[in-house]
Amino acid sequence: MMLTFFTTIGSPDRVCRYRRARRSRRGASAVEAAIALPMFLWILLAMLDLGIAVLRHNALSDAAQRTGRAVALHGSLAPQRSGSWGPEAIQTTAAGDEPMLANLQNKLPTMPADDVAIEVSWLDAANGPNDRVQIQFRFTHEPIVPGVLPWAAFELQATTTMTIVN
């Protein structure tokens, strides 16, 4: 049985040389891991950070559209019980107590409401039917690990313009 083993693999000297070579390569895996692991983690953090930035931008866009719809329904001809908003410009944060921001609860994930700047302006200086209102949301995205990723803080912005209905 042993004779068959050596005939397929090789001589005993060759087996010993193979084992010695294998032992000397054990440290190579650690060196490869030391090089590849930081690069892998950096790519993972970059993808996570950009994913969070995209999530925040989509949330800002959705919030701007929701606020725009609410404002468009509260023009000068709106029913008395619902009230009329505008045409004075409004600058506030998502934590503000303006009635047009009431539908934003839980719509801005991963963003503190105090850090989301909101600007509402009536472009035609009136709030009658067919006048326009513009809503702008701004938030400064900070990287999850400052200094590790190649980008610094950057501003996310979502703007929508709606036509007042009534």
Write down the pLDDT at residue 115: 96
pLDDT digits (tens, 9 = 90+) for 93-111: 999 988 888 888 889 999 9
The distance from CA 7 to its chain's CA centroid, rounded to whole angstroms, is: 62
Token pair, residue 67, equals: 């606020």
**Parallel, antiparallel or unpaired: strands 117-122 and 90-93:** antiparallel
| Residue corresponding to tokens 């650690």 | 30
Whether the full predicted model's pTM is greater than 0.85, yes or no, is no
pLDDT digits (tens, 9 = 90+) for 20-54: 666 666 677 888 888 999 999 989 998 999 999 99
| Residue corresponding to tokens 């509402």 | 120
- H helix or E strand, kind and range, residue 161: strand 154-163
Cβ–Cβ < 8 Å for 49, 149: yes
Q: Is 139 helix (H, G, I), strand (E, B) or coil?
A: strand
| C-alpha to C-alpha distance for 37 and 92, rounded to whole angstroms | 44
pLDDT digits (tens, 9 = 90+) for 127-150: 999 999 999 999 999 998 888 888
**Parallel, antiparallel or unpaired: strands 154-163 and 90-93:** unpaired
